[in-house]
Amino acid sequence: MEPTIEAYNQLVEKLLALSVAYYDNDAPLVSDFEYDRMNNELKRMEAEHPEWIRPDSPTQHVGGHVSEAFAPVEHPVPLESLQDVFSFEEVAAFVDKMDASLDAPHDYVTEPKIDGLSVAVEYRNGVLYQGATRGNGAVGEDVTENLRTVRSLPKKLKNAPTRIIVRGEVYMSHETFQTINAQRELEGLPLLANPRNAAAGSLRQQDPAVCAQRTLDIICFNIQLAEGVTYQNHYETLEAMAAMGFPVVAHTLCRTPKECTDAIAAIGEGREGYPFDIDGAVVKLNSLSQRQALGSTAKYPRWAVAYKYPPEKKPSRVVDILIQVGRTGVLTPKAVIEPIRLAGTTVTNATLHNQDFIENLGVNVGDTVLVQKAGEIIPEVLEVVKKQSDGVFRFPETCPACGAPVVRDEDGAAIRCTGAECPAQRLRNIVHFASKDAMDIDGLGPAVVEALDKAGLIKTPAELYYLEPQSVAAVERMGKKSAENLMNNLEQSKTRGLARLLCAFGIRQVGSKAAKVLARHYASLDELMQATEEQLTAIEDVGPVTARYIAEWFASEQSQHQIGLLRQAGVSFESREEIADDRFAGKTFVLTGALERFTRSEAEQIIERFGGKASGSVSKKTSYVLAGANPGSKLTKAEALGIPIITEDDFAKLIEE
């Protein structure tokens, strides 16, 4: 079908939005393969209708925008992108084109294409001087201090030129990615999407200390500039970089199209052996003088191509469907399949995501399904190709780990366990129980919780109060002094009061603010447990869904067992929430900008003590916006809605009256 200019413009806009998500926000919305497919369609349209080409088309520039959060760095040598190819025939066509363009003998270097964040790193007199992201290819972002935290990047070089700039790919290893996500899950934080996004987001942190915690690595693959040194070919530069101390990309010298495609196939088959994700293989002309003679287009060098591995799809029979319970209580279905070979590995399991996904597929045990593994992602079931079972698989009504009822999220497809003592969730539940907004038990972070669990000393949050000093002291990472401090902090936490205890329980939709609201209405936990859903719903800021979650949590046998253990341990069930007076009753405050006389937390506590509510967003229901220095968009919205804006002095007068 003949493309239209309307279809072209729609595709440009879609790709621009996807580029911003990928390059600027480190949050891709589609797979690389799908993005490349759309980008190639755009190129086809522009080849047929060059008069349509827009200056802002993704084909006319490289990478993303340069963030204003970082100082700009102009690249002395542009950091170009590569032309993608998707078949061995296209690789052979590239080699044929090189043969036709070059009279002299020539060969190639084939390398894995690391899926990370591209950077240029400059050294002067052998010492790390500056590092920048690719940005738009001509100008990048200065991330020097963050690059200093990359553990495999040398800070000093051996026998280096006076000035040298190398190009590399910063990545997060599979092992580091899994470790960080396991920790974030324990702490109730959102999980990192994938290693590439994690690496890009980490390297663009404003605080180098945060970047350092992510333990990033780098692989270098090109010398951009080397003053006073002349190299003959790319292979020689790679060997030179290795001698200087750089971690260098694996590389194979190739002379024929067959050798190039064999090297690409070998990289694909061996991708599981790399500590990083790859999103293709690169074939580069080896001779540097020949590269210079060929030059580049507006976006790509003419002397290289990037082969993109297509998503592999194969059929297999579903042998079983298992339900796994994650640390957050979410039940995830996994299809156990007859072994198949995909993307260089033997696959025996594939994700089924959730109940809605299963119902849309109509899949059950015994069916033959099509399984895909694109790049390094977890294998997933795409469709049923042969229905051999009756009906569709249904989730159990109780948790397979603890037997507690399961419920579906009101606003999503997730089905989760409601058990307060579920063993699959115990680490996260204990970490949350001890967290700052909950029982605030200093010295009981994720690492200590894991050590206590490993020693078999705790299985539920309430069991913290039954720990023995000598047992704790014997735990790895502890010792006598740390054990004494922890025991003292546990004892102090018993008097935190009802609001913190409610937050610590981890009842859905009952965070610190909702817990304080409840603690202001009920003098004790026993009084709250007697409340009906109707009575709870009558409280401002407690809706019917939250009321149901509270009632269901207290009705659980596991919850009652925890409450009994806490009562026996002497944990206070009494409310400590006092309202000085109700001058702010029914009023909602929004804080914006940097406050000087109060911390944000102090201001929120004052508002709540006078019966008001602190909110994070401006709406028509907002009573006041308390604005500090450099207020953001909240102030603009408040002005548009005509909401009163007060200063810290105004706020002080309100609370001193």
Active site residues: 113
Distance CA 239, CA 248 (A): 8
The amino acid at residue 98 is M
What 8-state DSSP symbol labels residue 190? P
3-class SS of residue 173: coil
CA gap 131, 380 in Å, rounded: 38
Rg (CA), the chain: 30
Indicate the helix (H) or strand (E) that contains 26: none
Amino acid identity of residue 56, one-letter, is: D
Distance CA 313, CA 372 (A): 4
Rounded CA gap, 19 and 380, in Å? 25
Token duo for residue 79: 């950091």
Beta strands of 135-199 (E only): which ranges? 139-141, 163-171
**Are 364 and 317 spatial neighbours (Cβ–Cβ below 8 Å)?**
no
User: Which SS3 state, helix, strand or coil, does residue 313 take?
Assistant: strand
- On whether the CB atoms of residues 294 and 147 are closer than 8 A, the answer is no
**Side chain identity at 218, as an amino acid letter?**
I
d(CA 512, CA 500): 7
Question: What residues have CB less than 8 Å from 631, skipping those under 6 apart?
Answer: 592, 593
Q: What one-character DSSP code corresponds to residue 102?
A: -
Residue with tokens 């809706």: 543
- Do residues 116 and 169 lie in contact, with contact meaning Cβ atoms separated by under 8 Å? yes
Which of 51, 56, 64 has the alpha carbon at shortest distance from 19? 64
Pick from 547, 623, 554: which is nearest to 583 by CA? Answer: 623
Gap between the Cα atoms of 489 and 485, Å rounded = 6
DSSP run (H or E) holding 180: helix 174-186
> What element of type H or E holds 536?
helix 533-537
H or E stretch at 147 = helix 144-147
Please say whether the beta carbons of 117 and 67 come within 8 A.
Answer: no
Question: What count of other Cβ atoms lies within 10 Å of the Cβ of residue 415?
Answer: 22
Contact 299, 59 (CB under 8 A): yes
What is the chain's length?
A: 657
Angle (CA) 405 408 412, round 5°: 160
Contact 120, 203 (CB under 8 A): no
Residue 347 to residue 380: CA distance in whole angstroms: 10
Closest-CA residue to 140 (of 107, 114, 168): 168
| Nearest CA-CA partner of 69 in 145, 17, 138 | 145
